Amino acid sequence: MPLSYLSNWAPFRIDALGLVTLIGAEEVNRSVGRLVQSRYAKYLPLLGAHLIADNQFTTMTSGFHLYNVSDAIRTPGLSAWLTRWLKSQNLKMSTTVFEWSVAPGKSQESKSGCGKAWDALLAALIGFLTIGGSLVLVVAMGDWWGLANTISMIVSVVVRCCLVQENVDALDKAVLDACYERSGIQGGSEKVKLLISLADGRMVTMYAPRGLVLEGFTKRLTILQPRLYSYTRALGWFVFGVHVLSLGQATFLNQIYAIALLVLSTWATAKGIGSNEYYITEHISAKRVENYPFCPDKRKWAYIRLGCNGVEEESLADWGLLPRKANTKWWRDFKESEEQWKFQKYRKSYDTAKV
């Protein structure tokens, strides 16, 4: 029988522990931690499940600095999800601009119930067909180690979805309370100017509500159901142990199927295939602002586009982002470029209105 032959076919051995703990670990940490899920790979198992159980996707990353230009505040600590989200974006060196919004009702993306239901159905269908294929194969071959491995992968998907959703809910609630003065923050919905420098030297400009900055950008999220969260993490560790043990003992064909599924789903998740990067939660969304063709990718133009007043320019100088006024040559060139920016912006607005 072909199945009995395949159950004994093992041309070489596979290091299961090394595969599921080392390959794709950084990609899983970054892609899951940014809290944006793929409509195709949402219900597929991923490599590095121990990172999810260990809660490493929520640890803060060093090397980032946030400059709140409007409020003259500088902080070196950014929320874990924001640092991972920024790393996943295609950023220019200095002139990338994002505008953030916090809607009291659901955002436009989440209002389309039919589209959201279709995305959930599509993700469930893909997960059912791919993992279901593994179930059919292991049962037909009588591979009970393979069955244990498949069940552990299914449970790991449930664990990941629960933990990610808990973080999304915590972010949503904290930001909504801050923006609409449910937590005592005054002017929470007022937008402020931000500069964020990344560990690799790139810089991003953002306009975001003050409440989102205070509770969503600079603080660790407070989980709404900590006991359930802890139990779910414990379950994640248990199924990870079963996954490592059973994958190493499964038949070679089922090992190949499981590894191919894990690698492909991890690749799709890391690449953001099927993800809406600018829709974070049901109430929080971002929009990338276009760059004008005459605006070179230099920090000077990032400061010009920010439209700072005298006090804000002093803050930038105190943080070392702008030179002191003693550097008259630089400031003269800066003001000339600023006038050019205003003229080109006015001309673009005039041409748009004329059309």
Percent of the chain topping pLDDT 70 = 84
Residue 165 binned pLDDT confidence (cut-offs 50, 70, 90): very high
pLDDT of residue 178: 85
Q: Which residues are paired to 286 by β-bridges? A: 100
- Tell me phi and psi for residue 13, to 5 degrees: -100, 150
Per-residue pLDDT tens over the stretch 45-86? 998 888 899 998 998 888 899 999 988 899 988 999 999 999
Residues 85, 176: Cα–Cα separation, whole Å? 20
pLDDT of residue 1: 45
Residues 131, 137: Cα–Cα separation, whole Å? 10
pLDDT beyond 80 at 157? yes
Mention every residue, 6+ apart, whose C-beta is less than 8 A from residue 39: 119, 122, 123, 274, 275, 276
Residues 29, 270: Cα–Cα separation, whole Å? 9
pLDDT of residue 9: 47
The domain segmentation of the chain, as residue ranges, is 2-287, 294-354
Report how far apart, in Å, the C-alpha atoms of 41 and of each of 32, 82, 331 are.
11, 21, 50
